[in-house]
Structure 1
Amino acid sequence: MPPRPDGCVGEHLCHHAKTSLDDTARRQEIRLVHPIGPSVPSPWRQRALVPVLVSLCMLVAVISSLGAPLIPTIAAVDHVSVSDAQWSLTVTMLVGAVATPTMGRLGDGPHRKKVILTGLGVVMAGSLLAALPLGFACLIVGRAMQGVGMGLVPLAIATARDSVPPQRARAALSTLSLTTAAGVGVGYPLTGLLAETLGMYAGFWFAVVATALAFAAAALVLPRTPPRPAHPMDVPGALLLAFGMGGLLFALTQGESWGWGSPRLLVLGAVSGLVLLGWVLHGLRTAHPLVDLRLVRDRTVFAAHLTTMMGGVGMYLLISLVTRYVQTPSSAGYGLGASVVVTGLILVPFSVGSLAAGRVVRILVRTQPPVRLLPVSCLLSLAALLTFVFAHGRLWEIFVTMALAGLGVGMNFAVTPGLVVASVPAHETGSAMSFNQVVKYIGYSAGSALSAMILQAATSSGQEIPPGSGYRTAGLTGCAVWAATALVGYVLIRTGMRGGSLRMPDTRPATAGAGADSEGLVPGAGAQR
């Protein structure tokens, strides 16, 4: 073959060099968008990663709900009042609200796997302590240690963002968030069944075994964290958040026993609010705060956090009303007189609806921006509460109510992780999702307290059971909350779209490395941070 002219050789070499540089730049861009980590794990570890992360989140949801159906049993076995036994649920939520952002910040550094394994170790020790018949005090301490597990959810989501291949990232983020809602529907009936057949402590022994298995699976499968700089821990911020959140949630949970207008409750609420205000001001002046509140100024992130919190309010408002209503004896003029097991089974449609919402979201995001689904989720939850208000006399009607609620809450929880992850820098994912979990736990406590407050206000002096009208009032209050949330979410979305601040999904055909991000659930993920 005759030699090429020098010009052709130069042109060929230039073209080859340009192609190589383009390929290198594309690979670097893909790595920035979706950092797989310093080393590629073995194929079986890649396949097992998502199931292990899902099992972690499901375990957290089940363990966090263990105390709720057992409250009357704990009061009887340990000879304490029902209000004191309520702490078996309250203390888990209090510790979880504080541990979640702390673990999220620690997990944003290079030691995420160690943080996850340490959290699982604390949960396992707490489960063992709660399972031993050592008295009420040890049970409360064990339940407090189990609350540390709530901080595992944002770490699991951050791990999925860093280590799951792009074509599977969308489904993984959605499923991980859904397990926090679906797990409640598993934990309630499981706890009731174990308690009725094997005794009160059987559920905690189940938690010991399940946590041990999860610890072994996580140690084998979880990958190393991509190399990132480690920032100093914001200890003052953690303390301010601990006291502020602890005081606020304590006030919400004690409102029924202290009285919602009692001076000590009002003082505690005011002081807690001031402490939280100090935490906000401290975070805005700190270079590396526990939670970067500056990220909340993004309208997408703000809308996601708002609907998450209101989703928590509506979820526990309805669950508290339904579980109390169905266990009320029919001699009261309403109620179904259901057992603990039947009451737990009522939440199964909620879990089914939550999981179904994940599949619905995957279909809808092909044609609609995910952020537009937030008001839709609020309207579905509104429909669930309306169903409860006007149709609750038969068991099948309660099942329909809970299925609708599962669809609404599930759609919300399926969409919000992708919106938050796409709107914050990669190194802030764990912290941002931790804050999302914190506002969710605030919603849980507020919803439970709101239902108790309304039912207590409707109960006549000297009576123990509220009238049926109290449930109607509580349900209509929940409807107003959901309608307002849908309206605010819609306004945020419309103004954000006009102002160009909301990140919209890339509708171009997927290229190598785009995968799930270009399909819509993680809008804007292709933007370099």
Structure 2
Amino acid sequence: MGALVSSLGAPLMPAIAQSTQVSLATAQWTLTITVLVAVAITPVMGRLGDTRHRRIAVLAALTLVAIGSVVAALGTSNFPVLLIGRALQGAGQGLAPMTIAVAGDTFSGDPDRRKRVVAILSIVNAAGVGLGYPLTGVLAQSAGISGAYWFGAAVTVAALLAAPAVVPAPRDRPASAIDMPGAVLFALPVTALILATSEGGNWGWTSPATLTAGVTALLVGAAWAWFETRTPHPLVDLRQLRVRPVLSAHVTVLLSGIGMYLLLSVSTRMIQAPSTTGGLDKSAVVAGLLMLPQALGSLAAGWIIRRLGRWLPARWTLPLAGVVMMAAMALFALWRHSLPGLVAAMLVAGIGIGIVFSTAPGLIVENTGSDQRGSALGFNQVFRYVGYGFGSVLTAVVLESRTPHGSAYPDDSGYAVAALAGVIIWLLVAVVSGVTGRRRPVQASSGERT
């Protein structure tokens, strides 16, 4: 469901700009506002997932998403109303780490089964975006923008009706206090950072607004870290960063978010660029369908991980994903001028992405106690969003540096430079995850039983 909400943003932006009579840069806020709400609410949702209020939190989030979907469906010609609906939909992004935490607790007595279930949930979340993009495009073409949002509302209501039966409500856990001051302090720097990375291209990278947002992120972020180490009930226990597999999961997801956004953004832009600039001159629908191989590759990653687990030490799984993604970037660089070549690159990329985003949550589940698992998974999700933000900056900087004066499109060398940058990022993923990925499972805490 969270993946579906994500897919209701980027593919619809050109149509939203037209229906609400705003610029494409302004329509971008329908994506930005969802991410801003998500980064603010995800750690809180994760922390609630560690308490007896887990089921209530899930129901509340689904209710907000359902309301937001209805508001968005009714406001497709009114930009402020549509923006409010998209903001409410952002609450759904906090559900993914909570569901993984629930699985970690539910199958705590069977580590092998827990590992498989956590991997499946993570892969479905990664593949869902790839499947959601073309589905959203088809719905928008056949039923308009409102039809896509009504579909999102229907799916959310179905999830809301099913949630009471499938989400356990542990009664043996204490009603832990939620660190609301920490939540506010956390939301401020992350919001500033997301604004700087997502809007810097429009504001100007050296403009006062961008620089102010960047400095605010650094200063308030440092204040938040200081506060969290001194409060008795922190929103995120930063001491977990001393556990090498947890640190590996966070750093790997941050770098992977950069590399993933770079590839997806560059490939979809290139496929729609005119052939005179090195592009393939295809429609937005074809660009959306290009996400399907990535989704299929992500789904195949689960099967590949299970087979690899028979002979490959677990600590080398993430480095292998980095190598796979380097191969995907190489395929993109070499075969980017043909549609079959791009399909092959996206298929291989889907395998690498699936391995990363199924393995990293498993590292957290296996190396944190159940009373901190949800907040750690939520924190990991935020690292992914921040990675997307930096990926956006990197994509803009690389392509703009290769865009001739007066042209709206970069020349062909821009895509080659972007591919090289991607290879370097995924090399960092392989090296960093290999160095920090040694496992050291923690003892089950008293809250492990549900």
Render the CA deviation track for 1:196-224: whole Å, top value 9, x for unaligned.
12212211111000000011111222222
Render the CA deviation track for 1:371-410: whole Å, top value 9, x for unaligned.
2211111111111111111211111111111011111111
Tell me which residue corresponds to 2:121.
176
Offset at 1:110?
0.5
**SS of equivalent residue, structure 1 residue 460:** coil
2:299 is aligned, of 352, 355, 370, to 355
2:207 is aligned, of 240, 262, 266, to 262
Q: Tell me if structure 2 keeps the 8 A contact 1:361–1:414.
A: no
Residue 214, structure 1, aligned to residue 156, structure 2:
no
Residue 160, structure 1, aligned to residue 94, structure 2:
no
Q: Tell me if structure 1 keeps the 8 A contact 2:294–2:349.
A: yes
1:130-529 correspondence to structure 2 within 5 Å: 130-133=72-75, 135-164=78-107, 166=110, 168-330=113-275, 332-493=276-437, 496=438, 502-503=439-440, 524=441
Offset at 1:457?
2.4
Tell me which residue corresponds to 1:99.
41
- 2:159 maps to a residue whose letter is A
Tell me which residue corresponds to 1:36.
none
Render the CA deviation track for 1:52-94: whole Å, top value 9, x for unaligned.
xxxxxxx101211211011111111111111111111111111
- In 2, the alpha carbon distance for the partners of 1:423 and 1:117 equals 28
- In 1, the alpha carbon distance for the partners of 2:238 and 2:407 equals 46
Offset at 1:183?
0.8
Distance 1:117 1:427, change over 3 A: same
Q: Tell me if structure 1 keeps the 8 A contact 2:370–2:444.
A: no
Paired residues in the alignment total 443
Q: Tell me if structure 2 keeps the 8 A contact 1:94–1:246.
A: yes
Q: Tell me if structure 1 keeps the 8 A contact 2:252–2:432.
A: no
Tell me which residue corresponds to 1:55.
none
- 1:162 maps to a residue whose letter is D
Q: Report the TM-score when normalising by structure 1.
A: 0.81
Any gaps of 5 or more consecutive residues in structure 2? Answer: none
Tell me which residue corresponds to 1:71.
13
Render the CA deviation track for 1:159-182: whole Å, top value 9, x for unaligned.
111224725322210011112210
- In 2, the alpha carbon distance for the partners of 1:347 and 1:252 equals 24
Residue 119, structure 1, aligned to residue 61, structure 2:
yes
- In 2, the alpha carbon distance for the partners of 1:226 and 1:408 equals 39
Offset at 1:267?
2.1
Q: Tell me if structure 2 keeps the 8 A contact 1:370–1:415.
A: no
Offset at 1:526?
6.8
- In 2, the alpha carbon distance for the partners of 1:471 and 1:449 equals 15
Render the CA deviation track for 1:357-378: whole Å, top value 9, x for unaligned.
1111122223333222111111
Q: Tell me if structure 2 keeps the 8 A contact 1:92–1:143.
A: yes
Offset at 1:528?
6.5
Any gaps of 5 or more consecutive residues in structure 1? Answer: 1-58, 497-501, 504-523
Q: Tell me if structure 1 keeps the 8 A contact 2:369–2:443.
A: no
- In 2, the alpha carbon distance for the partners of 1:269 and 1:478 equals 24
- In 1, the alpha carbon distance for the partners of 2:73 and 2:167 equals 28
Q: Report the TM-score when normalising by structure 2.
A: 0.95
Offset at 1:226?
4.8
Q: Tell me if structure 2 keeps the 8 A contact 1:75–1:85.
A: yes
Answer 1 or 2: higher relative contact order, Cα 8 Å, separation at least 6: 2
Offset at 1:268?
1.6
RMSD over aligned Cα, in angstroms?
1.6
- 1:152 maps to a residue whose letter is L
Q: Tell me if structure 2 keeps the 8 A contact 1:377–1:409.
A: yes
